Structure 1
Amino acid sequence: MTSPGAELPRWIDLLVLPLVNLALALLACGIVVAVVGYDPWQALALLVQGAFGSRMGLSYTLYYATTFVFTGLAVAVAFHAGLFNIGGEGQAMMGGLGTALAALAFAEHLPGWAMVPLMIGAAMLFGMAWAAVPAALQAWRGSHVVITTIMFNFIASALLAFLLVDVLKEPGNMTVESRAFAPSARVPGMHEALAAIGIEWPASPLNLSVLLALASAVAVYLLLWRSQAGYAIRAVGHAPEAAHYGGMRPRVQIMVSMALSGALAGLVGINEIAGVHGRLLLEYVVGAGFAGIAVSLIGRNHPVGIVLAALLFGALYQGGSELAFEIPGFSRDMVFTLQGLIVLFSGALSQVAAPTLARLWRATRRSPRAAAAQGTSDG
């Protein structure tokens, strides 16, 4: 059955429809805020002010968005191969583990210019390896990738806890975390990078991983829409039997797409572990893998849309904190409710407005033709 969005031009499906969904979500949020006794306009103004109204707020928004770009791209790459990767959470944990192991093993002997690429490679390799097992089970044994990736999230969490408690925990430290990395194993903060070129910027968790996230988005676009390998991935995802008839091997594409998906999710470890904390922590992912699913759906599984959706989620996280701080009685639970409504309308109900937009589009296309036909008949 053809989806309602299939009748829309691609520019409407990718740009106008998400904006309409966001407007509906904000309208629903405004109604909820008004019902519980607060001013919707004040809440919206504070949210925008908290997310974009200062350099510090903008820095936190971009910091959160960086993580969501990685996990959103991870979901999108698998989705284009016809797979629903729910395992971004576990793959991000393993990416952090790879980052930490590389830092703890080599940071005292290598300079920063060598350590950062080494940590990036380790994060991608560990995330890739964690995604490869569910991919192989799907390709050769028919195990559903949704089930296996969900289970691997729990295994990753248990494995990380075991390693931090029994192997990597810093002696004498009661907190479950590894020892601090050497200075060479730190991704420079954005304020440090800007200071080097004479621009003053407040210190924040924002680091140069944001550039890695943008580069990843460009790389995913070039791979999926400008390369033969990307065409094979999308062909297998759209029509696996036809792709197999055309000489493509669905099993290989499943492995390749899931490996790339895991590698992208693993890069969360660079932003969080190497860019902010400087040591391996137990719960540093905190739902970013699951948020990536919503980011990818809202962004229509396109890198440009994912970057914009990640900015939206970053603004919700940072602006929501401002709401809870500035409005007395406006609890974090209320903030989570507003975030959930936006996810609901922009993700789960993303096609509700599509039929109406399709009718409007057909009407605008018919009007000029009808006018031209009327002019011809009058002549």
Structure 2
Amino acid sequence: MLHRDAPPQAPNGWLLMAWMGAWRALRSGAALALFSAAGLTGCISAQSYKNTMSEQITHMPARAPIDANVGLEVHHELAPRMRSLWKSWLNGDREIANYELAVTELLREEVVSGRLFSGTFLGGATTSDLIVSVASAEDKDDDNYWVLVTLTVMNPKTRAPLATYRRQQVTATSMFSHKPLQVIPRLVASIGEEMRPQVPRLVAAVRQGEISEVAKACEQGGDLPTRLRGCTELIARAAATGRTDLQATAYVDRASAYLQTRDLDRASADVDQALRLDSRQIWAHYYRGRIAESRRQYERAARDFDATASLIEASVAAKPDARLRDSGVSIRDRAREMEARAGMEQKWVEYLKAIQTSQEYENWSAPPYDLYRQSQR
């Protein structure tokens, strides 16, 4: 009596090759279609397997797609015990690889055409919301054949795993009735329903991680171009997610970078944007004072430094912070310094006006007060 996993006894002689080809075709469910390919070439191609098994696949149930754009990766394999069984039937590594490739392609096509997700890109697309890796395997023991499906959700930038889901199901007690593609799509769909309510959280985690990396580049970029790029990207990302507090901070950080390049106009525009988003943004007032100081607008600088110090005092009163408190004291002192400079500047202006009025400025290239006004523009 034959064991259920063993092929019938093949005749001897010249019929052996054709017999084994027929047996391999019978095992895959299409004896007539594959008899010629296997018997004459000795190897069943991946396309032949696909043609045979495409009619066996059970399509995923129609449901609303999960709202996410994913980079899809699919891989199917035979577990070691199944691989050994195949080889005992005189299948080589090439045939096994062709079979695994055929199942992989059919499953990938099913996930895409079944619209499990609202957008699907093949491969690990770094521009997607998530990467979804679907790994399926066929295995057996002495009593049953089964399939195992593992779906891993990953960060598209770092490929760090965010969540893993698994399903396993017995398919048959005999290889003749083992049809994995009638089971795997249903398991994938079942996993999809489990992960559906968790997808917004997973996408948010990815975006928060991306924002953190961009924020780091904005705050601590190694050079000014890197900082400027990081802050510009952070402004856009914060705006897209409604994070006005983060957006205001990014404008301030970019203003700081512009100030280092002496691009006072752009620095001033960014500070104004930050204050429109958050009128109590401490460091927006501070950098507006720095910009005014660079323009020798000392009275305005004094007002902004005083406003900064007052906001710091209010913050420290609500949440004690010794370093921030010391910064507030230092900035208040700077406001007094600006007032002193403003007084000296006023005296200088009066002196220049007097010289220009008396027309005693032979050693000047132009009327002195006019030169001063030009320098303030």
TM-score category (smaller protein): under 0.3
* Higher RCO (C-alpha 8 Å, min separation 6): 1
From the two aligned structures, give the one with the greater strand fraction.
2
**TM-score scaled by length of structure 1:** 0.20
From the two aligned structures, give the one with the greater helix fraction.
1
